[in-house]
Structure 1
């Protein structure tokens, strides 16, 4: 019995502005990705995610002010959007605004307890605060969640963007 392979012609590539934006972001075509995520947000398609991803692009383009505005806009669309909360925490941490960073990371973890990146970045904050034991526990949890996300992704149970 021979093995059958799916032909490459039947595979569906990215078609929506959001999907195309993800591809452009992965390809480091940030200007294009900003436009595509803007189109997706304007169409109301995954608005919070599109605005947050647009903010990530703008960080890569070294436009912090616009990135922060995008993350705030994402929270207007969905106040519990963990990636936007985490990115705002990152900006606060980079600026030394530790109380604000803590509040953002805690809000992200409350919104999505399985969001590994929020736990990882919260661990960075805890270390900066001198809470090494707590930091290590958060890092271990982040690693466990990341491994779980990977296996969930492979099994088709969960997909993170």
Structure 2
């Protein structure tokens, strides 16, 4: 059943004013389901009606139409199931990292650990090579290498 655009807009207006009869509601739902252009007009008019109700401080209420979801409620966005699994794995790994961090911090800062006291004994260091003072002049320079990094240069006697 094809109706004119003007007649359709009158149907939408009557529907938005909650004055539509059951026959007009059936006709409106058939038009919206069959014609994309009429569906676009219907949803645009519903958004305008909701905005006008907000301005005047009223709650927009629309009668249900057969086969058409409530035009004032935005449709749920589809989320890919694999994306849900990826986000779940990210959340679990983050929780594990936080748990390990807290465990490590508690081990470092706990006073019950036996190693919290400073060392009381001397740790022997390996003796330096005996010929180093004979050849090393003690002069140290920092220069730039060909690749731009810093290089430490130690001066030795021949």
Which bin holds the TM-score, normalised by the shorter protein? under 0.3
- Normalising by structure 1, we get a TM-score of 0.25
Which one has a larger percent strand, Structure 1 or Structure 2? 2
Which one has a larger percent helix, Structure 1 or Structure 2? 1
- Normalising by structure 2, we get a TM-score of 0.26
